[in-house]
Amino acid sequence: MKTIIFKMLLVLIALLGLFLLFYALGDFNRLEETKQNDQPEERPRNAALTEGPGTYIGESIDSWTAVHGYPDRIYQADNKYQHYIYHDKNAFYDVRVRENQIGMIYATGPEADIEPFTVNQQASDIFRGTSIDTEPSVMSEDGDYHFELTEVDLKTQLLIQYDDVYTQVYIDRETGKVMAARFMSAPLLVQMLPYTAHLNGQPIERTMRIEQSILQEQNAQQTLIEIINMMRANYEIHPLRKIENDESMCQQENSTTAYDSAEAVNQWLNGHERGMMLNNHYDSIVASVSDCYGVRYIKN
């Protein structure tokens, strides 16, 4: 009798052990499922560009000139890059070159090639089928840069990564149209810092420095005016004539601090200065780039 009772106890203990084992395995599986669900989904990556200016980033300037010819002018920037400027009636390109390698290309104008986009297309079209990261990270020699795009950025200076090329899409917020594009390498995105940024988890402030020779200043003035005229051309408005003037305009209404002329013009396009920039009653313009970017529009 005792033997039978003992065997029954052993069976009950075994059944209880199996029950506890299956229960524990169920908990473990549920825990693993929870962990998997808690992990952020990997964002799909945009394929590398196969056409347009973006394909030249990181390439030799010789590959660009072999197709586009020699530039209208070349001048030195204060960040050790050279500006190769291409300008005609309906297209403008600013190609940044250092040690014979292309690091950035800015393009605008009604007939400018900004593949995979087009000037004057609706920016809303870009959001269909394009992966856009509003908090991109870039690894550099200094560490991990983390950027944050605001709602305003998404409507005025969208950032899209195509493999190892970063593309800023400049947008006219009032019309929702694409006005220009800037293609660049990761080091130049880090140098430019166009968005709220953190380095290794610490917020960093953007600093602006404009130190130019007289020749650089004259070329920068010309670039500023040419980009403004391209914005006007995008809306079929006649170009402005440049008036020479050495006055500083940093205290005037149409002045700003910016990384370069392209960024300054996009700020004006999406600010209260837009009405003057695209006003067909103005015929001439005075530009200043000495301590800031400033312009004055003149009616003749």
Q: What is the pLDDT of residues 46-68, one digit of tens each?
A: 999 999 999 999 999 999 999 99
Residue 281 · residue 237 · CB < 8 Å? no
Q: Which of 113-122, 193-202, 241-250 has the lowest mean pLDDT?
A: 241-250
pLDDT band at 77 (very low <50, low <70, confident <90, very high): confident
Q: β-pairing, 255-256 with 202-204?
A: unpaired
Burial class (CB in 10 A: 0-12, 13-18, 19+), 117: buried
Residue 227 · residue 92 · CB < 8 Å? yes
pTM: 0.84
Q: What is the pLDDT of residues 205-251, one digit of tens each?
A: 887 665 567 788 889 999 999 999 999 999 999 999 999 876 766 76
